[in-house]
Structure 1
Amino acid sequence: MKTLYSTKVDVVGGRNGTATSDDGLLALKLAQPVAIGGRGGAPNPEQLFAAGYAGCFGSAVIHVARGRHRISDDQVAVAATVGLVSKDDGQIALTVALDVTIDGVDPETAEAIVAEAHRTCPYSNAVRGNIDVQISVTAR
């Protein structure tokens, strides 16, 4: 296996701490969401995960679509919703919903592109079998 890219982020203080990347481009405070008893007012790990998954999945959609159609980056939008849920056994788990919109293709083509993107996206492959991921597709 050949490493294409690697990054390191240090977090001090957990959900109410700070996150800093090794290149200094990411430097932010973290805060537990108010909805689960935190103070809020700063990004939380679920928001960062949602941003990463949406960005990665959007790039996978663009890559797959370009193999079939003329499509520009701004014709693909992904909204990722990440939730924390309490399971019956008391464990806390993540859920993900990806709402994908592709402009300039018909619904059948959009569904096929997104299905292939879900098979190739590194985030999808990392969570497959571990996190419930629901995907909805809109073609415009």
Structure 2
Amino acid sequence: MAVDVLYETKAKATGGRDGAAETLSGSFKVQLSTPKELGGAGGAGNNPEELFAAGYAACFIGALKFVGGQEKIAIPADTSIVSTVGIGPRSEGGFGLEVALDVSLPGLDKSEAEALVAKAHEVCPYSNATRGNIDVKLTVA
């Protein structure tokens, strides 16, 4: 599957889950901390699952706007997504992720909102990257 890359970014991580990560452009820097549930100390830093959850939610709103533009449906300015990312051992070995996206499209009819979410799930780069690898549950508030 070829991708016509229009934009790319680079980030560097050091120290693993208890280290730091930053974009090479210098626009973003974060301290990392392993959650207690995964055997870490917890702490003030973020973890990769939090970053993935935030990125997926933001990207999915972008996909909703793209689909809305194609369908001539205005996506409400107060659209929001709560993205839940879970991590744990897989029955096949190793570790896996699961995702739940709870989408709020205030003012839109529920069936119209559900149709938009389904179409956005087909075009969102995060959805395309995870399809067949991670269970993604979509709900519309």
TM-score (norm 1): 0.92
In structure 2, the residue matched to 1:129 is 132
> What's the % identity of the aligned pairs?
45
Question: RMSD in angstroms over aligned alpha carbons?
Answer: 1.2
Deviation at 1:56, TM superposition (A): 0.3
The aligned amino acid for 1:69 is I
In structure 2, the residue matched to 1:39 is 41
The aligned amino acid for 2:113 is A
1:119 aligns with 2:119: no
Of 55, 59, 64, 2:58 maps to: 55
**Aligned pairs for 1:1-140 within 5 A:** 1-40=3-42, 41-66=44-69, 67-72=71-76, 74-138=77-141
CA-to-partner distance for each residue in 1:88-109, whole Å, 9 max, x for gaps?
2332100000000101211110
* Contact 2:32–2:46 (8 Å) recurs in 1: yes
Displaced runs of 4+ in structure 1, greater than 6 A? none
TM-score (norm 2): 0.91
| Runs of 5+ consecutive residues of structure 2 not aligned to the other structure | none
| Runs of 5+ consecutive residues of structure 1 not aligned to the other structure | none
